[in-house]
Structure 1
């Protein structure tokens, strides 16, 4: 199992080369040829041990073979092996050893100077408040309180890539992962692999919320989405007007529940052992347009004739304050309406676990370092970087 390296509790084990060989043999078993499996293991070893950026030249230096850089480039960008099968095997492996509590979706932005790398375009980045020439993708992470690792990736491709540049970058004809759909596709494709479904947790403040809520609802997946204060929701009235609903912003709705806040203690996943306290309150709300997906009542129980139909999908809006703060610090929306607000708050904190492991593990194994131009090359690189992340996290980072 992982060991602690002292960096806010991030796991980064260092065991011998046998672990790398054993795990690679299992996760790369779907590669049809023995030479492909050997190159796959060599690439993973390079990601684990090469210093600096994980360029083909630096990765090849691990092999001590002048021709290795060219063969690795061909293996990543021009070969025919299926990265989806490797990701499915990785997801099954991590589902067993991590016992994850959530599937966390995280956006990965990579600023670029040129325009030729796959998916690169000028896009406005709300978190930065400026337009950046960049590549954007979404990773699906399996996360527990002690460790997190990515298992699936989806590129965000703009119209230029899906139309004029599709053939040049070898983008498949059926690929249609625009910005709004990339996060959804990262989740739904992984859900088809047969691993145990977990709540989908995502910071969606800068995303189009409707595609996420509707897609996860139709797929039958529980979700917990961080939203911005201006998000419009429906809420029931009070007193004699309780059968009526009104539309209001999430921040306004939660401001009316401030007196109902309750303290919840949680252990910080980014710093295990650190106990923190937040003030939390839940509020029943509705998402308009999905009333047909409301959970049914008890079998055989007729709906009262005078009862108005549900105005939309029943959800819980969770507000979180820091002690002594007046304004709401975070707002989360979930379809897990029977869950307690304490468990929901703790579940939301798993995004901190992912941020920590992305910074100290994924970046270290070169998740953002692919420099090629092809769609296939990018997907194969981030797949093997995810394998390297899993090895480093679980104690197989040496060799």
Structure 2
């Protein structure tokens, strides 16, 4: 299916997006079911959770991978797993672990991937960020407000860092079109110093901090960590951050049009078969729409350890290094 999506929707600027969705169920026999929080329902429900990967380009978007989350209440019960036909080697894995498996599969597939986007549940996984950097793949990943930022500029919680930003750091930008028109927010961005990735003596990538502030409620702020090729603009980072909503559109379309959530299977193999066929049906519809010219919108795609590091550099902002004796080797990511 990834080969099919690469052929029909592939683009060198493609974005891989990670998220999960819930499938509300009755009873206790469906593989992976238990009372757990479902973002789909917005509350704790008796449900299964699937972790998914979507692929989005200017040609369209489609789901391209899936893994069923198995809580410890399942993986620690051998008889229960055997009854649901769960393979013996399927051990407990966090949702972040499942995400890394799918990202690795996607990077090894024919899908041309330039970026990875995800919400804070996955963005806070430093091992995922490290894996992407080692692969040379850019990312814009949401993180919680408690996320620590460690660089040659110092060590901060990301919300403290953004709160210290001068007001003229903020830019009003659209991160893509939604159902009611452009999604416009105020955005603040700055590069992190001293941790650029070099090749032959020249920087190839930089790490960034990024924040999105609501126009209506200035206290509503979302935070991001980014890793981008040298020369990437703030506008491009904002576009990638906005592309994350494409997976929500995939979930809605696959459920409404392809029966992604309409199944009565209880066993592990049956879940994968049904979900995969529904994903393929959705990818086929996306390919037909692209071939007919109905292309998707590419853009629907502790206290601080040092004083404020925000400094203007030319037309952009960066976080400066206040301590000349701090070295890159002393910083952990």
Q: TM-score range by the shorter chain?
A: 0.7 to 0.9
After TM superposition, list the pairs within 5 Å mapping 1:105-116 onto structure 2: 105-116=18-29
Distance in 2 separating the partners of 1:379 and 1:92: 21
**Gapped regions of structure 1 (runs ≥ 5):** 1-86, 238-244, 302-312
The 10-residue stretch of structure 1 (147-156 or 213-222) with the greater mean CA deviation from structure 2: 213-222
Instruction: Name the structure 2 match of 1:29.
Output: none
CA contact (8 A) 2:12 2:112 kept: no
Larger radius of gyration: 1
Distance in 2 separating the partners of 1:195 and 1:126: 28
Aligned match of 2:226 in 329, 334, 350? 334
Instruction: Name the structure 2 match of 1:137.
Output: 50
1:252 deviates by 0.8
After TM superposition, list the pairs within 5 Å mapping 1:1-399 onto structure 2: 87-96=1-10, 101-125=14-38, 130-145=43-58, 147-163=60-76, 164=78, 165-176=80-91, 177-205=93-121, 209-237=125-153, 245-246=154-155, 248-266=156-174, 268-271=176-179, 274-285=181-192, 295-296=197-198, 298-299=200-201, 315-323=207-215, 325-327=217-219, 329-336=221-228, 338=230, 339-395=232-288
1:208 deviates by 5.0
TM-score, normalised via structure 2 length: 0.73
- Relative to structure 1, is the Cα distance of residues 115 and 99 closer, same or farther in structure 2, using a 3 angstrom cutoff? farther
- Write out per-residue CA displacement over residues 52-103 of structure 1, whole angstroms, 9 at most, x where no aligned residue: xxxxxxxxxxxxxxxxxxxxxxxxxxxxxxxxxxx3333333444x776311
Determine which structure has the larger helix proportion and give its number: 1
Root-mean-square deviation over aligned CA pairs:
3.2
Helix, strand or coil at the partner of 2:174: strand
Report the count of equivalent residues. Answer: 284
Helix, strand or coil at the partner of 2:128: helix
Determine which structure has the larger strand proportion and give its number: 2
